[in-house]
């Protein structure tokens, strides 16, 4: 075998005259007047090789039989390219390898897409042939960056006296919000393991066990509906600390982020990061993960709207809803057709419509402006700080619909009006999330984060009387409108833990059944502890400016949790099911 001596991307003019062997895949093949030029590509770059029939006719003939994506090695001598033939766009553009020998390791079928130019190729096709997609420099860049990120994380935590501890993958099913992935036990018929949604309970037990400072880069699994920033299996940077409060965790996390930005992006971030309460974030931005790279803050005009003659507004307030909106600078320049499109666009978020004013010449120009007095329009414009050329957009509905619609509308309009800086990074903390929220369909209480989050001591008395007003000692870190991760001070008192679980409909008997191992640990001298988990996939995507975390994962799943590469999940043989004491129900045949 021709053994590689140099990587394709490392040859420079300083290597001229050296005999080298490079290995990789045929990237381009060109025949110029008898000379054959082959570009060979590996993870480190591309180098041009030259086959001259006057030097070795047989070698030239063999080179002529090569095609794109053949895996080969070429031995030759590094020479300067002819004057005027240099390629400044290539790192190796000053040199070429004059071929002396060639070895074909394996041939390639015709690729289903051009590996060099995958523009326009669907993500599904690229992921089905992920082994080809991975040969593209932009995909390799993502994986190299992710690798460097994990090494930076490990180095930082090691320097801060954290130890990495692995927690189990085959564990107990416990309700943490999403559905569990279940694994049947062969030796315990009828019993199941669950793949962990997070190491939450184990890391709390590690604190009781005196591990003091723990971290882990860990796989987690959640059987939930997928979006661009979610996968059924994902990786998170998990950490927990003992004898601390929230300030210690925030400070440590900011230190990690400072190092990540400095070492990977050569960017300095200003710490401490700004903070806002959950209530403030929802009021101003409609979401607990606000994008702060632009303005477009939400304003509430319900007090003005409740007495106006526009029944859509006043009726919404009468029914207990709100009238809120945003001001789009220079948005009055948008054509009417674009605004009509927005009215249809907001329906996907549950809004029944979208009202609007164009501010021109000190007046509000709109089909609904006739329902407002001059004083009301002046008050509304003043509330937003709106001036000539601005566009006001309003939603009148219940609070949850206003939040959801306006949160999406402000980011949509920021992109449409080009208000987002390309390389801008805006970080913040969102703190004091409520302990509980109510399910919109059933009205049942649910934990906003998870049931192991500690409430503020002064709010504990509201637990039964006003549960949705109980604030937690929680904190989420947000980058450019994406929640990188979240954490909290944990409940270390077993009686308080039982009380919170009871509020969620889990009585003491059920709590002991589901969480007995945690409750037992808390009864044996639990220290005060707190921690956080950061999504590694999300963080990689955000730092690289990608809009889909699948681009950072080697073998991702589709939105139906199917692997395009392997086809999983697939049926298994009946013998396997019998070993696991399982059977499947056949679908009734269609008539």
- Provide the CATH number for the domain around residue 497: 3.30.930.10
* Token pair listed for 117: 């130019």
- Does residue 559 sit within a domain? no
- Does residue 111 sit within a domain? no
- Does residue 558 sit within a domain? no
Strand 163-164 and strand 192-195: pairing? unpaired
Residues 65 and 38 in one domain: yes
Is a pLDDT exceeding 90 seen at residue 158?
A: yes
Residues 441 and 413 in one domain: no
In this predicted structure, what is the pLDDT of residue 37? 95
Is a pLDDT exceeding 70 seen at residue 589?
A: no
Last residue of a domain, one of 420, 439, 462: 420
In this predicted structure, what is the pLDDT of residue 519? 96
Residues 433 and 541 in one domain: yes
104-125: buried (b, 16+ CB within 10 Å) or exposed (e) per residue? eeeeeeeeebebbebeeeeeee
* Mean pLDDT score, 69-95: 95
In this predicted structure, what is the pLDDT of residue 587? 60
Residues 300 and 342 in one domain: yes
Residues 261 and 387 in one domain: no
pLDDT > 70: what percent of the chain? 98
In terms of residue numbers, what domain contains 208?
140-276+428-552
* Mean pLDDT score, 250-268: 97
- Does residue 590 sit within a domain? no
Contact 274, 284 (CB under 8 A): no
The candidate with the shortest Cα–Cα distance to 489, out of 531, 431, 432, 435, is 531
Residues 99 and 214 in one domain: no
Q: How far apart, in whole angstroms, are the C-alpha atoms of residue 46 and residue 39?
A: 6
Last residue of a domain, one of 420, 452, 483: 420
Q: How far apart, in whole angstroms, are the C-alpha atoms of residue 371 and residue 394?
A: 15
Q: What is the residue-averaged pLDDT of the chain?
A: 94
* Mean pLDDT score, 235-255: 98
Q: How far apart, in whole angstroms, are the C-alpha atoms of residue 342 and residue 219?
A: 39
3-state secondary structure labels for all residues of 127-179 = HHCHHHHCCCHHHHHHHHHHHHHHHHHHHHHHHCCCEECCCCCCECCCCCCCE
- CATH code of the domain in which 66 resides: 2.40.50.140
* Mean pLDDT score, 262-272: 96
- Does residue 506 sit within a domain? yes
Q: Which residue has the tokens 């073998």?
A: 555
Residues 458 and 400 in one domain: no
Higher pLDDT residue, 443 or 426?
426
Is a pLDDT exceeding 90 seen at residue 477?
A: yes
In this predicted structure, what is the pLDDT of residue 178? 78
- Does residue 586 sit within a domain? no
Last residue of a domain, one of 389, 420, 451: 420
Count of the separate structural domains present in the chain: 3
In this predicted structure, what is the pLDDT of residue 177? 65
Residues 415 and 435 in one domain: no
Residues 164 and 226 in one domain: yes
Is a pLDDT exceeding 60 seen at residue 117?
A: yes
Residues 267 and 339 in one domain: no
- Does residue 567 sit within a domain? no
* Mean pLDDT score, 358-372: 89
- The kind and range of the H/E element at 304 are helix 302-305
Confidence of residue 380 (pLDDT cuts 50, 70, 90): very high
* Mean pLDDT score, 283-295: 96
* Mean pLDDT score, 470-479: 98
Task: Tell how far CA 246 is from the center of its chain.
Answer: 24
Strands annotated E in 222-266: 233-242
Is a pLDDT exceeding 60 seen at residue 3?
A: yes
- CATH code of the domain in which 336 resides: 3.30.1360.30
Query: What pLDDT, in 10s, does the model give residues 529-575?
Result: 999 999 999 999 999 999 899 999 999 999 889 999 999 999 999 99
Residues 438 and 311 in one domain: no
How far are the Cα atoms of 339, 342, 412 from residue 335, in angstroms, in the given order? 7, 11, 16
Q: How far apart, in whole angstroms, are the C-alpha atoms of residue 221 and residue 465?
A: 35
Residues 301 and 338 in one domain: yes
pLDDT > 90: what percent of the chain? 88
- Does residue 289 sit within a domain? no
């Amino acid at each position: 075998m021709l053994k590689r001596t140099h990587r394709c991307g490392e040859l420079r003019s300083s290597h001229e005259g050296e005999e080298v062997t490079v290995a990789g895949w045929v990237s381009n093949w060109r025949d110029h007047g008898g000379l054959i030029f082959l570009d060979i590509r590996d993870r480190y770059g591309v180098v041009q090789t030259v086959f001259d029939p006057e030097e070795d006719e047989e070698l030239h003939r063999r080179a002529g039989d090569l095609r794109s994506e053949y895996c080969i090695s070429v031995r030759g001598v590094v020479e300067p390219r002819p004057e005027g033939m240099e390629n400044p766009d290539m790192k190796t553009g000053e040199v070429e390898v004059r071929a002396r020998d060639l070895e074909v390791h394996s041939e390639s079928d015709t690729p289903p897409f051009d590996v060099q130019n995958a523009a326009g190729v669907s993500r599904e096709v690229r992921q089905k042939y992920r082994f080809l997609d991975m040969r593209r420099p932009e995909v390799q860049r993502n994986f190299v960056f992710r690798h460097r990120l994990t090494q930076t994380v490990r180095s930082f935590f090691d320097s801060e006296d954290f130890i990495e501890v692995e927690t189990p993958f085959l564990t107990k099913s416990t309700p943490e919000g999403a559905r569990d992935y279940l694994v049947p036990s062969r030796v315990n018929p009828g019993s199941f393991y669950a793949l962990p949604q997070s190491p939450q309970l184990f890391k709390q037990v590690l604190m009781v066990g005196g591990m003091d400072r723990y971290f882990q880069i860990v796989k987690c699994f959640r059987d939930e509906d997928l979006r661009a920033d979610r996968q059924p299996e994902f990786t998170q940077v998990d950490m927990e600390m003992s004898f601390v409060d929230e300030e210690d965790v925030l400070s440590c996390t900011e230190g990690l982020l400072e190092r990540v930005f400095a070492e990977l992006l050569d960017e300095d971030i200003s710490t401490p990061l700004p903070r806002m309460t959950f209530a403030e974030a929802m009021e101003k931005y409609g979401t607990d993960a606000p994008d702060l790279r632009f303005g477009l803050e939400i304003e509430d005009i319900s007090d003005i709207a409740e007495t106006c003659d526009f029944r859509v507004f006043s009726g919404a307030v009468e029914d207990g809803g709100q009238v809120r909106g945003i001001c789009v600078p220079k948005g009055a320049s948008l054509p009417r057709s674009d605004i009509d499109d927005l009215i249809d666009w907001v329906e996907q978020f549950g809004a029944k419509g979208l009202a609007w004013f164009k501010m021109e010449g000190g007046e509000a120009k709109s089909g609904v402006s006739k329902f407002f007095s001059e004083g009301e329009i002046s008050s509304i414009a003043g509330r937003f700080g709106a001036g000539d050329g601005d566009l006001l957009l309003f939603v009148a509905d219940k609070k949850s619909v206003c939040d959801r619609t306006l949160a999406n509308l402000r980011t949509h309009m920021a992109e449409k009006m080009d208000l987002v800086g390309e390389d801008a990074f805006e970080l913040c903390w969102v703190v004091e999330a409520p302990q509980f929220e109510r399910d919109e369909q059933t009205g049942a209480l649910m934990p906003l984060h998870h049931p192991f989050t500690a409430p503020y001591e002064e709010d504990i008395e509201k637990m039964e009387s006003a549960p949705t007003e109980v604030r937690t000692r929680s904190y989420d870190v947000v980058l450019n409108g994406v929640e990188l991760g979240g954490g909290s001070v944990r409940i270390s008192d077993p009686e308080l833990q039982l009380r919170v679980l009871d509020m969620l409909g889990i009585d003491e008997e059920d709590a002991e059944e589901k969480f007995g191992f945690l409750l037992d640990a808390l009864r044996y001298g639990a220290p005060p502890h707190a921690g956080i988990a950061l999504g590694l996939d999300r963080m990689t995507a955000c730092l690289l400016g990608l809009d889909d975390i699948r681009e950072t994962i080697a073998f991702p799943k589709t939105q139906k949790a199917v692997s395009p590469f392997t086809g999983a999940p697939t049926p298994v043989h009946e013998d396997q099911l019998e070993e696991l004491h399982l059977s499947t129900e056949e679908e009734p045949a269609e008539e």
